[in-house]
Amino acid sequence: MGKVWAIARNLTVEVLRMRPLMILLALMIGVSTLGFGYWLHASTGPIDEKVQTFISYSLTFAMTILSFLTIFISIATITRDIKRKEVFTVMTKPISRGQFLLGKLCGMIVLNLVFLGLFGALIYGIARNMSRFEDASEGQIRRLNELVLIARKSVKPPFPDFRDQAYAEADEMVAEEVRTRGIIDARGVEAMRTAAIQNRLEALTRERIASVAPGGQKVWHFSGIDPIDQEEGRVYVRYKLDVSYTPTDLHVYGDWLYGPQDPSIAGGTRRPSRDPVRTVREFSVQPTDISPEGDLFVGFRNPVENSPATIIFPPETGIEVLYVVDSFEGNFFRGLLLILLRLIFLSVLGLAIGAWLGFPVALLCVLIVFILAVASGFVGDAIQWEAGPVQKIIYEGVTAFIPRFAEYDPVPHLERGKLVSWPLLGQCTLYMMMFRAGILAAFGYVIFRFRELARVIV
């Protein structure tokens, strides 16, 4: 282990001694945290949203900068050693190639810990203390502490799976179209089927799940609500209303009824509302309205005053219950761990490719993988709806070993006060680290193990 640590320490010290790089990094850290924080302070806006914006951009910036730094250093450290033949001075010592690579990886982890720690400490400090320098109202401070600087877990109502029915109905529709219009082009039929499935899924969702006609009502059952503070509770119902007919004042009335049992039978706490359409809204629920087993029933009645507007709760964002399960500090820490895992993956990737190729080619390869990983959410969505089956197979094959960073991005969670859970971290460790990074590391080791570093000249 001593040999590994020696290499790690060597790399760490070497990088930390690069003064221009450190000055540049310090400038970037300063500008993206202190500078951005000051810019936000000078602008007009509510403090909760300023902190949200600060967390969002400063963490994203930190993640991006550290990702690039990791890619450059991890590739450079190994390719430069080989190119400048400095690797001979190490490899001629009693140290295996695996230990050499592992040492480099440990060095990268230490460097990332240092840089991420610096970034994290500054971002946390500013986010926590920003409100002290603002002329914020009590309500805004409350919103900041209860909605942003917190860790809330989300519970959504069970969502019945309509897919089989949608597929069946779509197939029927397509068959009818093919029969009546005589379409024989396979691509056209497939495109029509995709559109029909989407159409039926949306229609079934709208019709059966998420819409409340004027005078009608709907009850959702949320279970497993277990707030950290059983006395104070701090449980919130978050919802967004859409409408079939947009009223001129863009507002609709609502009548909420909630309690530990189905309120349409057992009654419950009533809350009349008047909300803007297509806008996120929240209200808090008392702990007494939740059963000891963690059940909450939320009913919504669409008053006839809204007629003719049917109120629609969009499937993903329509309604959820949020409850506090941890502090911002714990959440932020887990968020930083997620970022660290991403950086470790990039270190492994950089070292593995660097052990095989020269600096420019390796850099190009890693940057392509990085961009695909970052854009995975956007590209995945686009492929899902736009590409044909062959393209989808190709995309899935190509991206099988590319992690989807968007799935493990802590920023949307942190900026919205949502929980970065340990299971998410575990999932990230399993899929990104053990599966993908593990394979990459093995690949890098094998390449480096058998690579001819110098030709023997007799």
Partner 1 sequence: MSPGKWVTFLCLMLGIAFLAAAAGLIKPISQQRRVYDFEPTNPFHEEKLIAEAGVGRLPLEVLTVFRFLAINYLWIRAEDLKNEGQYFDALHLSRLICELQPNLAAVWDFQAWNMAYNISVGVPTPPERWNWVRAGIELLRDKGIVLNPKSAKLYHSLSWTFRHKVGGIADDHHRFYKWYLAMDMVPLVGEFPDNTEIEALAQAPTDWQQVLADADVAAFVEKLRQSGGFSDDEDLFAALITSKLDPGKYADPFIELLEENVQAPAYRKLDLFVRSRELRFKWKLDPTEMVKINAKYGPIDFSVEGGIKHLCLEWRHPATHALYWALQGLKIEEMDEFNESTLRRQVHHSLQDLFHYGHIQVIHFATPSRATERAPGQEIMDQPPPPELGNVFFSEDLRLFPVAYQATLDIIRDREAAGESVRGFRDGSINLGRSGVRELFLAGYKDTAEIYLNDLRERYPERLLFQVATIDEFAANELRDDARDLTSKNARGYINGLLRAGYRAVALGNDGLAKSRNEWARQIYDILLLNDPEQGRLNLPPLEDMRWYALLRFFDDPSITWVLKNVMLQKLEREQPVIFEELRKEMEQREQASSGQTPGN
Q: Which residues bind partner 1 (CB under 8 A)?
A: 44-46, 49-50, 52-53, 56, 240, 248-251, 276-280, 317, 378, 415-416
Minimum CB separation of residue 64 from partner 1 in Å reads 13
User: Cβ closer to partner 1: 242 or 326?
Assistant: 242
Cβ at position 281, least distance to partner 1 in Å = 8
Which CB atom, from 80 or from 281, has the smaller least distance to partner 1? 281
Query: Tokens 């993988």 belong to which residue?
Result: 369
Question: C-beta of 298: minimal distance to partner 1 in Å?
Answer: 19
**Rounded Cα distance, 43 and 53, in Å:** 12
Q: Which is nearer to partner 1, 88 or 378 (CB)?
A: 378
CA distance 34 to 183: 62
Which one, 180 or 248, has the nearer CB to partner 1? 248
CB of 15 or CB of 379, closer to partner 1 = 379
Q: Residue 358 phi/psi, 5° resolution? A: -75, 170
Shortest Å, Cβ 50 to partner 1: 6
Among residues 304, 245, 316, the alpha carbon closest in space to that of 277 is found at: 245
Nearer to partner 1, 96 or 279 (CB): 279
* CB of 159 or CB of 378, closer to partner 1: 378
Tell me the residue ranges of DSSP E strands in 36-192: 150-155
Neighbours of 175 (CB within 10 A): 12
- Taking the least distance from each CB to partner 1, the nearer of 140 and 205 is 140
For residue 143, the minimal CB distance to partner 1 (Å) is: 11
Q: Where are the beta strands (DSSP E) in 277-426?
A: 280-285, 296-301, 311-312, 319-327
CA dist 266 and 260 (Å) reads 9
CB atoms within 10 A of CB 369: 21
Least CB distance from residue 13 to partner 1, whole Å?
37
Taking the complex as a whole, the smallest distance from the CB of residue 334 to partner 1 amounts, in Å, to 21
| 124 contacts 146 by C-beta, under 8 angstroms | no
Q: Is the distance from CB of 238 to CB of 323 less than 8 angstroms? A: no
The CA distances from residue 66 to 167, 323, 346, 401, in Å, are 45, 33, 10, 22
Residue 37 or 354: which CB sits closer to partner 1?
A: 37
Q: Name 317's bridge partners.
A: none
CB of 250 to partner 1, least distance (A): 5
Backbone angles phi, psi at 305, to 5 degrees: -60, -25
DSSP-H helix ranges across 85-149: 87-91, 97-129, 138-143
| 383 in Cβ contact with 391 (< 8 Å) | yes
Q: Alpha-carbon distance 416 to 152, whole Å?
A: 9
The values of phi and psi at residue 381, to 5°, are -65, -45
The CB-of-57 to partner 1 minimum distance in angstroms stands at 8
